Structure 1
Amino acid sequence: MADGFKVDLGALESAASGITETLAKLQFKKVSDLDPRKEDIGHAHLADVLEKFCTRWELGVENLAKDARTVSQRLNLSVKAYREVDGRIVGHLSGTLGRDSGGDPGVK
């Protein structure tokens, strides 16, 4: 018999759930909350550089969050697909094995 493979559906669900929980926490933490006023920096050029950095950082975080949502959705869809296929196979085998195929042809 071939080794085949096994999918740990619980691990997929946990990963998707963990991503979703992290994203929920992330929505309350904005990079712009860290962006100090230019007067607080004390140096105009440094303040401009910091502002640009925070803007790019925020965009990066938003893109990362978007990608993470996609990963979480795909993990959940994978779990759903595996469960549907497993359910169909069980139903098919139950119908096949539960059917009366007549007497044992080896018995005479």
Structure 2
Amino acid sequence: MADEFKVDLAALEKAASGITGTLVKLRFRKVSDLDPRKEEIGHSHLADVLESFCTRWEIGVENLAKDVAQVSQRLNASAKAYREIDGHITGQLGGTVTSADGKDPGVR
């Protein structure tokens, strides 16, 4: 017998919510906040390299945040679609198997 297929909708929604929460935190913390002033570094070449690194890192974080936002949206859309289909199927199948007294004969 085949294994049963089941989707944990609460887990999908919880994952999407967790991702969204992390993205909210990222909005308030920028890599540039970690970038010290050149005078604090004490070496101009090192300061330039660090500034370049932080700029590229910020771009990478922004791109990652965009991708992760898409993951969150798709998880929410998947959960919504599963709920809608479950509701539709339940509505279609509800009442198809009933006895003369209106009760489901499979329920004991």
Taking structure 2 as the reference length, the TM-score comes to 0.87
Seen in structure 2, the aligned counterparts of structure 1 residues 99 and 75 have a Cα distance that, compared at 3 Å, is farther
Task: Calculate the aligned-residue CA RMSD, in Å.
Answer: 1.5
Counterpart position of 1:44:
44
Superposed structure 1 runs of 4+ greater than 3 Å apart: none
Q: Which runs of 5+ in 1 are unaligned?
A: 101-108
Counterpart position of 1:61:
61
Q: Which runs of 5+ in 2 are unaligned?
A: 101-108
Write out per-residue CA displacement over residues 35-63 of structure 1, whole angstroms, 9 at most, x where no aligned residue: 11111111010000000000000001101
Alignment of 1:20 with 2:17, yes or no, is no
Name the SS for the 2:28 alignment partner.
coil
Counterpart position of 2:105:
none
Write out per-residue CA displacement over residues 55-102 of structure 1, whole angstroms, 9 at most, x where no aligned residue: 0000011011101100000000000000011001000001423597xx
How many corresponding residue pairs? 100
| Residues in 1 aligned to 2:50 and 2:4: alpha-carbon distance in whole angstroms | 53
Identity %: 75
| Residues in 2 aligned to 1:59 and 1:4: alpha-carbon distance in whole angstroms | 43
Structure of higher CA gyration radius: 1
